[in-house]
Every structure is written in structure tokens, then in C-alpha cells.
Structure 1
């Protein structure tokens, strides 16, 4: 079923609002893994159901130690 113009405009508005929020409130960090030498790290990280939460918990634990 085709969406009405009003529905499309609302979707566009929601998308713009979401993008604005993410730009203002969040930061993205990218990490690369070497396939040959760090495959075990990547495999382990991929086994985590919440990768971002896992990485954040490691950083917080490290901050407490230091």
C-alpha cells in the first residue's frame, strides 16, 4: 500500500529529528581488526549480544583501576 504525502513527510521529519539528535548527542568510534592476527578478538566481540555495552563496561572497569 502506498504511503500518503502526509505519511512520507512525517517519516522525513522523524528521520531529520533522529539525525539531528544523534549528531548533537552522540559520538561514533570506529575500530578495525586485523583478520589474520586478531580474528580471535573479533570472534569474541561478535559473540557479545551488546557490543557497545561490553566495550563501555571494559573502559569503565579500566578507569576504576587507574
Structure 2
């Protein structure tokens, strides 16, 4: 079903709002894993249902130790 112009404008407006919020309130950090030397790390991380939560919990635990 084709979207009306009004629906398309609303979708674009929502997209801009999400992007603005993400830019102002969040930071993204990327990490790369070497397939041949860090496959175990990648496999373990991929087994976590909430990767971001797991990484944040590790950082918080490390902060408490130091």
C-alpha cells in the first residue's frame, strides 16, 4: 500500500527526531575482533543476549576495583 505524502513526511520527521536525540544524548563506540586470534572473545560476546549491558557491567566492575 502506498503511503500518503503526510505519512511520508511524518516518517521523515520521526527519523530526524531519532537521529537528533541519538546525536545529542548517546555515543557509539565500535570494536573490531581479529577472526584468527580473537575468535574465542567474539564467540563469547556473541553468546550474550545483551552485549552492551554485558560490556557496561564489565567496565563498572573494573571502575569499582580501581
| TM-score bucket of the superposed structures, by smaller chain | over 0.9
Runs of 4+ aligned structure 1 residues displaced above 6 Å come to none
- Structure 2: segments with no counterpart, 5+ residues: none
Q: Secondary structure at the match of 2:49?
A: coil
TM-score by length of 1: 0.98
TM-score by length of 2: 0.98
How many residue pairs match? The answer is 66
Please tell me whether residue 29 in structure 1 is matched to residue 29 in structure 2.
yes
Q: CA RMSD in A?
A: 0.4
- Structure 1: segments with no counterpart, 5+ residues: none
